[in-house]
Structure 1
């Protein structure tokens, strides 16, 4: 048996969650098909198929039978670079042509009825019966594929019923309005997709590659890791990389939303799509085109749109029984009044058919995913990446935000401020500590090594790599024995600290500094104090959270005095001296009282990020920031947490507005129908109008900008 291979299909005309559900239901009944992923927001179907059991063309034919247009079929799951689809005028698309056809048939029937009034009923009946054929075929195909209660079924039954009771003119109008409503859905979905596809324009398609002193123009997707490119003033950076020569201000607003240009010099990272302002840069490429920041943002948002939010899943479950229930109610409206109260059959059949049209679930089904898609797109444009509707919903409900300290509330680049030798000189203490920390990635260790390099110190040799005990110490073997650099608490566990040494540690910590102790064996050799300054926007970010009624606190492994000094300056609570397991336990305790967001750098805090209700990673487009947590802040600012929560709350509000619009209009028109006020064309107009209102309301979120 052949192994299942990946298959991807782009589908035109799939513009709402109910469309996606219908396609998924049909395709999953085919033999040999698995891992089905239908993304209506992106208009794609991805799956794995055993071609010995089901040919790929069978999948395309099944999709076409449901009334959608499959294009760009292939075995490749993703292109090298995101591609922007060509948008044709609305009248050239399948739904546009259907609108023109149904409108032309109605207009022809109307004109001929003026000339031949005695044939009016037959003319409108003919127009209605011909116009309903495409929708009836889709209803039958849906029923045969496992979706018997679709909107096409409701509309076809209502239209044919209207013809049968002599209301052919209204039947024709209903079909035209239904076709127009479907076209409006397509237009609205196209606008929502354009909000993400606009990011594709940020990446230049060509780059100036430098090889052997010569500069050549190449396609951006041909760049490989390690290539050197020249970025002239006014050019966009073709892919992520590191500046190796030159200095210039770079506008990162298109990528991170940061409005102020950032100075880039040798060693600085630059991101694909950012704009070089005033100086020439030579950049070494670190990511290929398919893996640069822009490509990953687009793929992240597309994947996020595929994952359903809790409210969307609830609406989906509701709609599964809502449509058959609506048909049952319509049947009761038709049957009960004539049989029980002697009502006129034609009157109540008419009102039952109107009820069918009012019950169309389009507006309700699209209410949540449309808002979620717009919220995700708005976040991406503001440098706020959110991995899915569930995370977007949860952010708006968090009661507590827990921050890591180093690299999150602070700049993450501590500097050595004091060296206090106990058994030697400052230089020897710093040199030995740097040797122990030589291969570490911890910010404190990096700062110690940098301080030693700045003084030009020769570091003693170590044998083997350093061994890290998280939250305690790093130990390495030197020629004269083992040496460790660790916390004062760890040092106190290994040896008795002299009173003077303990007093010095207390004094340094009271100044908001972090102290590490250098030990050789069981002997204290010296103290090194470091300080990591808070980010410029940290206090504002905390204030904006507390103004929203969200509790903010710091969880850190640092000593209590340092943590409390920084926390007091920023205006939040502190939980200090937490080892990784204690930090996890604290997250669990806080989570029991309500949803909690954990904010960290995405590396050392990965367990805590995963344990929280929603994890948020700081980081300007780094791999870890984009991949570890549920959300990432490309601006690398603490205020971004409040922006995330504000966006989530705006999205939740939009969702409930949409649900109220959808159900409210249906309730009003149901009452007017039962009293004989609503006509068939008014009923379908109510459904189409609700869909348009819901979609337009959701699209407002794309332009959303958090208030300061």
Structure 2
């Protein structure tokens, strides 16, 4: 990408079919200074890559001239990172040794959210292409369809009462709907796009009048408008499926300032503001809990039905619901940059990138439509000229073929399915950056997964409390006393265990840390030493049984700390970074689908092997970043299509080397922007779900293409055979488009199956 290139993003209203997107793309691409154009009919957006000197007003006028309304979205469209960032940016996080050290994802600043729905639209001309949001009868397209229908009914009435004037009445009824269609056809032709459905419709209707089929011409125009209206309604539903997420965020929030609480617009909240969220209210911004503890219902943004208990220090997301207690929350992201806003922006941008299948269909349609026009002309001319056929009969058949030849249903078959799939995935925390990624996921045959933070929770947990002379509860109580106030991961594990077991922790005094050995303090008058096994053995000789038990725990990949009371060995506490609750089931789902799985980790072999044995996965341990990249390359060399799953900031070389890089994260900027795809909610099973969604999408696309081409083939044969005429031909086009769109929309209800 040239450094001088600029990106501008627009909201396009009235763009209801693939033909619309093609017209806009072709017209804008030909303008001076425009380097690239991405148009999404399902998102209703256009992103233009252009030189800084480009005339943006001229671009807008060109789109308006084609019959659409256009508004530039706030901010500049940012180029999307489609793979992991450069190695130099990411190697700072090393997985060697203690791989569960925390990563700060919050410091990455996100810029340029640009999906405001309330932009002022300039140049509303009241033409046929208008927004299809709201009741269909309130749109200009709906009103035109109603007017055409009324005119057609009136024409039939006139024909019944005064048969001699009936043909003129049908021509008048036809013109009610055809004039706006012909105007759009002319504008598209002037923009260098002659083969549009509007042009084919205009020629077919005019030709029908010339050969005396005015009644059919008026009927066909009305059916065409009905079909367009249905396409607009379907496209509107597809477009609103992801935008509906934005309605989850409340409009107002209660902010605390100078000891006072007042209600303010949620969009005015700034980073660092302190807000109050009452029980039952939706959380108005991404933030961190500063006070209180409550069950948070995250189902609106994650699909997870079980509320998550969260307290001080935990992150919460905009749009989720506070359960049973008042929370004080420190805002960590502005309204334009909260998780839901970023998800919407990401999905809209993803819908603008075309999948390989979609690009193929686009190329095919460029030849398909002119080819059909040629065939229609031959059908109209050859039989009368060479075989003495009736001119009116064969011209009529040729006109019907023109309508059959529109590729709308075929062209929309892929983007409609992909848009619905991206939206369905986003609602479940599965984010994919465009059709290329979505299509590629279905071809995955091997998945390489990081250990810490991916297969495991990323923080140690107490797995065993062992008595060597004192009760287990006493051992935990004394250890917690020494660790109170510490932020070390192992200390936090002990304190969490004590809190879970509701242990009353005594106060400690004279605490001192002994480098490499442990920590000492006085608790209830006794000197307590929480030590490493080696330091404990130096202070008080461990028995053979005690040493054997500690060695067994170490062999399981666990870190062991010994609790000494004076010169007495009281007990031991073992800790380990445990697998995620769904890791075993998630890996099994992958292997059941015939997908090879392997763990790639920088952690030591003993710890990695213990986790690998527990999860039943092949283990490659003690790896440097370049080793992980090499192994991914080896897997690809074996003919496998490889996905690399990591935490979104580590393993940059491996993520970049894989066919698909998948980030595990909790809605952070890094998780959303670095890899090809992201699993927001950190579930291993979601990797398999993402692959199943891809497979379901590709199956849907095949169904759509079959329907689109199948209907056209049937009507092609029946038209030439004289069985069907103009109005069934238009149904073959608009009907197929509506069927294909409706079939694609089934993916919005996808629940996890193929």
8 A contact 1:184–1:692 mirrored in 2: yes
Post-superposition CA distance 1:256-312 (Å, at most 9, x none):
222111111111111111110001111111111111111111111111111111111
**C-alpha RMSD over aligned residues:** 3.1
Give the 3 Å change call, closer, same or farther, for CA 81–302 of structure 1 in structure 2. Answer: closer
Find 1:103's aligned residue among 136, 149, 167. 149
Correspondences of 1:103-252 after superposition (within 5 Å)? 103-252=149-298
> Once the 2 structures are TM-superposed, how far is the Cα of residue 707 of structure 1 from its aligned partner?
4.0
8 A contact 1:36–1:46 mirrored in 2: yes
Q: Which residue of 2 aligns with 1:267?
A: 313
Is residue 31 from structure 1 mapped to residue 73 from structure 2 by the alignment? Answer: no
8 A contact 1:33–1:54 mirrored in 2: no
Give the 3 Å change call, closer, same or farther, for CA 83–128 of structure 1 in structure 2. Answer: closer
8 A contact 1:258–1:635 mirrored in 2: no
Give the 3 Å change call, closer, same or farther, for CA 55–623 of structure 1 in structure 2. Answer: closer
Give the 3 Å change call, closer, same or farther, for CA 609–356 of structure 1 in structure 2. Answer: same
Q: Which residue of 2 aligns with 1:42?
A: 43
Is residue 589 from structure 1 mapped to residue 623 from structure 2 by the alignment? Answer: no
Higher relative contact order (CA 8 A, sep 6+): 2
Is residue 573 from structure 1 mapped to residue 574 from structure 2 by the alignment? Answer: no
Q: Which residue of 1 aligns with 2:578?
A: 533
Post-superposition CA distance 1:66-112 (Å, at most 9, x none):
22233578777777774379933212212112212222222222111
CA distance in 2, matches of 1:234, 1:448: 35
Q: Which residue of 2 aligns with 1:511?
A: 556
The answer for unaligned runs of 5 or more in structure 1 is: 419-429, 439-444, 462-502, 517-527
Give the 3 Å change call, closer, same or farther, for CA 180–305 of structure 1 in structure 2. Answer: same
Find 2:344's aligned residue among 298, 306, 327. 298
Find 1:333's aligned residue among 379, 397, 403. 379
> Once the 2 structures are TM-superposed, how far is the Cα of residue 45 of structure 1 from its aligned partner?
3.4
Give the 3 Å change call, closer, same or farther, for CA 75–564 of structure 1 in structure 2. Answer: closer
SS at match of 2:579: coil
8 A contact 1:363–1:691 mirrored in 2: yes
The answer for unaligned runs of 5 or more in structure 2 is: 78-111, 120-130, 465-478, 497-507, 517-547, 562-572
Range 224-233 or range 549-558, more displaced: 549-558
CA distance in 1, matches of 2:44, 2:559: 53
Q: Which residue of 2 aligns with 1:447?
A: 489
SS at match of 1:193: helix
8 A contact 2:626–2:654 mirrored in 1: no
CA distance in 2, matches of 1:79, 1:633: 21
Q: Which residue of 2 aligns with 1:542?
A: 587
> Once the 2 structures are TM-superposed, how far is the Cα of residue 53 of structure 1 from its aligned partner?
6.8
Give the 3 Å change call, closer, same or farther, for CA 120–452 of structure 1 in structure 2. Answer: closer
CA distance in 2, matches of 1:564, 1:628: 29
SS at match of 1:594: coil
> Once the 2 structures are TM-superposed, how far is the Cα of residue 355 of structure 1 from its aligned partner?
1.0
> Once the 2 structures are TM-superposed, how far is the Cα of residue 230 of structure 1 from its aligned partner?
0.9
Q: Which residue of 2 aligns with 1:13?
A: 14
CA distance in 2, matches of 1:143, 1:404: 54
Give the 3 Å change call, closer, same or farther, for CA 79–53 of structure 1 in structure 2. Answer: closer
Give the 3 Å change call, closer, same or farther, for CA 344–506 of structure 1 in structure 2. Answer: farther
Give the 3 Å change call, closer, same or farther, for CA 19–459 of structure 1 in structure 2. Answer: farther
Q: Which residue of 1 aligns with 2:66?
A: 66
Is residue 342 from structure 1 mapped to residue 342 from structure 2 by the alignment? Answer: no
Q: Which residue of 2 aligns with 1:555?
A: 600
Is residue 458 from structure 1 mapped to residue 503 from structure 2 by the alignment? Answer: no
> Once the 2 structures are TM-superposed, how far is the Cα of residue 49 of structure 1 from its aligned partner?
7.2
CA distance in 1, matches of 2:305, 2:704: 33
Range 559-568 or range 313-322, more displaced: 559-568
Q: Which residue of 1 aligns with 2:443?
A: 397
SS at match of 2:734: helix
Range 134-143 or range 268-277, more displaced: 134-143
> Once the 2 structures are TM-superposed, how far is the Cα of residue 360 of structure 1 from its aligned partner?
1.1
Post-superposition CA distance 1:168-220 (Å, at most 9, x none):
11111111111111111110011112211211111111111111211111111
Post-superposition CA distance 1:461-520 (Å, at most 9, x none):
9xxxxxxxxxxxxxxxxxxxxxxxxxxxxxxxxxxxxxxxxx99986653234799xxxx
Range 199-208 or range 40-49, more displaced: 40-49
Is residue 614 from structure 1 mapped to residue 648 from structure 2 by the alignment? Answer: no
CA distance in 1, matches of 2:368, 2:551: 67
Is residue 705 from structure 1 mapped to residue 737 from structure 2 by the alignment? Answer: no
Q: Which residue of 1 aligns with 2:674?
A: 628
Post-superposition CA distance 1:2-59 (Å, at most 9, x none):
x998755432210123211211221233335555443322223344778987462x44
8 A contact 1:358–1:669 mirrored in 2: yes
CA distance in 2, matches of 1:285, 1:53: 39
CA distance in 1, matches of 2:714, 2:581: 53
SS at match of 2:329: strand
CA distance in 1, matches of 2:73, 2:600: 50
Find 1:360's aligned residue among 390, 403, 406. 406
Give the 3 Å change call, closer, same or farther, for CA 573–5 of structure 1 in structure 2. Answer: closer
Q: Which residue of 1 aligns with 2:471?
A: none
Post-superposition CA distance 1:671-708 (Å, at most 9, x none):
11111101110110121111111011011110110149
SS at match of 1:11: strand
> Once the 2 structures are TM-superposed, how far is the Cα of residue 548 of structure 1 from its aligned partner?
1.7
Q: How many residues align?
A: 632
CA distance in 2, matches of 1:613, 1:158: 48
Give the 3 Å change call, closer, same or farther, for CA 703–551 of structure 1 in structure 2. Answer: same
Give the 3 Å change call, closer, same or farther, for CA 602–279 of structure 1 in structure 2. Answer: same
CA distance in 2, matches of 1:662, 1:682: 15
CA distance in 2, matches of 1:535, 1:181: 50
Is residue 655 from structure 1 mapped to residue 701 from structure 2 by the alignment? Answer: yes
CA distance in 1, matches of 2:679, 2:317: 14
SS at match of 2:256: strand
SS at match of 1:411: strand
CA distance in 2, matches of 1:101, 1:79: 41
CA distance in 1, matches of 2:559, 2:515: 24
SS at match of 2:283: coil
8 A contact 2:442–2:691 mirrored in 1: yes
Correspondences of 1:85-100 after superposition (within 5 Å)? 87-100=133-146
Post-superposition CA distance 1:224-256 (Å, at most 9, x none):
111111111111111111111111111111122
Q: Which residue of 1 aligns with 2:360?
A: 314
8 A contact 2:7–2:49 mirrored in 1: yes
Q: Which residue of 2 aligns with 1:285?
A: 331
Give the 3 Å change call, closer, same or farther, for CA 326–409 of structure 1 in structure 2. Answer: same
CA distance in 1, matches of 2:343, 2:256: 27
CA distance in 2, matches of 1:84, 1:380: 22
